[in-house]
Structure 1
Amino acid sequence: MIAIALGGFGIGTTEFVSMGLLPLIADDYGMSEDRAGHIISAYALGVVVGAPLITTLTGFIPRRRLLLILMAFFVVGNSLTILAPGYGWLLLARFITGLPHGAFFSVSGLCAASMAPPGQRGRALALVGVGFSAATIGGVPFAQWLGQVIHWKAAYGLVVAAGLATVLALWFFMPHMTKMKPTSAATELGALARSQVWLTLAMGTVGFGGMFAVYTYIAWTMTDPTRAAMDPVLIPVVLAAYGAGGLVGNLFGGWLADRNLEIGIGVTLTAIVAVMLGFYVLSAHPISGTIMFGVIGFFGSALVPQLQIRLMDVAGRAQTLAAALNHSALNLANAAGAALGGAVIAAGYSYAAPSLAGAAMAIAALVVWLPTVLLRRRSLKMAESTYFAVKDVNGT
């Protein structure tokens, strides 16, 4: 668990620190805020493409070995980010870095779930996500500070170090997971034939996007001289507030998943709508805006393990691909949220306005959630009725 959490720490740091570094990157390359936001979309696109592709084609590789390969690839991608000579190369480097993201979390999550006692899968997945959440508390603010006092590329140097440490930890402490059977591409692709898989992915893509619409532009939002007017040196504090909320929210989401999964997802999406609206109003002040940003982190992170468990429940034998598709959906939300937030700002609205777009996205996710739950309940009842009808016919 420690080795997996360390990998999550590195991945979480590289994904989220880019958002806080956008003003520095934009200044370095002399570009607008919305164009700088494209590096966020490039990373997210790498996750969207890499997660299903890698997990589908690598089912025959032992899980421990695959985790080592993925983390080594992650180190290469972040090293290319540091060495990128121009904006185009930077976009390519971020895309490459995102490729192993979803596959790493899907494989490590399945390893944790397979070792968990009955009824505690949500808790196990939440513990796997602790490293990712801890990154937003310590790794991201520290990397942000390094980027401000040295150079924004120094932040990615920290990520490379975390990746190398993860490779060593996996090598020495990760069990070989010999009881996890290999799968074929045909088995994994079976998940794509299930409507409940697609509906769950839709919930994640739409519902999670609002968080990134806010997070991507948080540095500009909190330092806007017409609103909060926060000193830029305090942005790491704002990011740490999000991380603290995310750490607790991740555990809370695992707790909800083990108790009432379907209702828990609905409650979480409803709460996201409320906090997005609250952030739009309260972000005009440094303290209240920081607190609300932490609450956004809480409910956004609570959604992740719940969606992961739901995908595992509805995917049949295609567990690895389903888990990977969850990260594809969440990072498609990353790209969509960043793009939507940039479009709102480019249209002339305030830096806080993307939170309203985020609230609208969460409402859209609720519209998907209700029929998805009802359809699954109906199919389960039909399956139960068929089972008892066959049992009566057989006289047993």
Structure 2
Amino acid sequence: MEIEECIAVWHLLNNKKKKLKRRRILWVHSMLGLRESKGMYNLLYQDLLQDPSKFFNYFRMSIQSFEELHILKIRLVKKDTNMRRSIASKKRLAMTLRYLATGCSLTELHYNYRVGISTASEIIQQTCKLIWIFMKEQCIPMPTREKWLEIADGFLKNANYPHCLGAIDGKHIRVIKPQHSGSLYFNYKHFFSIQLLAMCDSNYCFTFVDIGDHGKNSDSSIFKNSHFYKNLTSKKLDFPNPDFLPQKKDYKIPYVIVGDEAFGLSFNVMRPYGGKNISSKKRIHNYRLTRARRFIECTFGILSNKWRIFHRPLNVSIDFAVDIVKACTVLHNFVRVRDGYKHEDTLSVQGLYDDDYVAETGAGSARSATIIRDYFMNTDILPWQNSCIAV
């Protein structure tokens, strides 16, 4: 019993020593106490308001868009306590936008904005969540039938592809290996990632996003497990009824979504013809379909270059990474509609990575879908499109 009592006393004294070591010397570090006088927000924000172009470059949105986004202040405001004052809502929003716009580290925000690293992390994650929760329905709503027809008119005008309701594709968002995740997030390109599956219109705006799937999964499997696909197969998306193509009036064709070879051919999903030894007509159709599909590639490029957090691996937890991607997709549409996009946002597409996995399709599946694709192939084409493809 004496030995056991000695061991118990030793553990008790050892734990007390550890607690004394961990005891906070200062409630707030002296450097952080100068936030109101020397913090980046207080030194720079008023000067940025005097120059709209500099403001846009710093926050990736106009002054008017920033103020409109600040309607979240009711939920961003925190109460002051007897111990310390809360961080203002505009400052919280400014920190979040700067983090997403530059991809800087939390440590850099810690020094620039004079807030604790854990506080900065909490502020950014909370703000990202609020942006998604309260602005998703406004910025990425499910289109109505009238909106679907408007999207189809846009693709016909801008890509010369009829009956197209959107371009769909998947991208890998690089992340630091999550703890205890094994190979779930390790993709075939040999890095760790989460998936962003998205569809866009011809105005480079997202109309559907599915975020956070494991990096090892393919676009096709993510698409088939999404709520969008379930609603598509159950006819709940309010797609326009099949109609005649502009060039032909003999057969009513359904409206379709265009994707690459990773997606299976179906009644409402068009993919290119496979193989190398294909006819000239099939090559022309593949070219026409690619002209429509490139809009999602351009949308990913604009997203990645505006919100440059995607130019490096996300060194945060998976839940935090998902919140970041969700917020950026909402902000992409929010800024795209209100401010357009700047030329420098389209100069490169670093940060997002293609998923080139090719889905296998059964030989007997979707015979009607094959007939529909052949009908698209045999529609009249523009003379310059015909001349672009070598026979």
Sort the TM-score into its range (normalised by shorter chain). under 0.3
Give 1 or 2 for the bigger CA radius of gyration: 2
Q: Give the structure with the higher percent helix.
A: 1
* Structure with the larger RCO, 1 or 2 (CA within 8 Å, 6+ apart): 1
